[in-house]
């Protein structure tokens, strides 16, 4: 394991960090939204 891999996030500037965090957050939101969408809106599902 090289030091560069561990420090790659820490070495980024603030703007790059914000973009990375927003990207990861959006990805998580999309996955969670997709799972909830399948769960709640699956055709034929009765409450």
Biggest CA–CA distance in the chain, Å, is 54
pTM, two decimals, is 0.58
Q: Where are the domains of the chain?
A: 3-41
pLDDT tens digits for 24-44? 999 999 999 999 988 888 777
What's the pLDDT score for residue 2? 46
Q: What is the DSSP string of 1-47?
A: --HHHHHTTTTS-HHHHHHHHHHHHHHHHHHHHHHHHHHHH-TT---
What's the pLDDT score for residue 11? 75
Asked if residue 7 has pLDDT above 90, the reply is: no
């Amino acid at each position: 394991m090289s030091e560069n891999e561990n420090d790659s996030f820490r070495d980024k500037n603030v703007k790059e960090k914000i973009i990375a965090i927003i990207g990861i957050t959006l990805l998580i939101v999309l996955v969670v939204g997709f799972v909830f969408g399948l769960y709640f809106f699956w055709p034929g599902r009765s409450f």
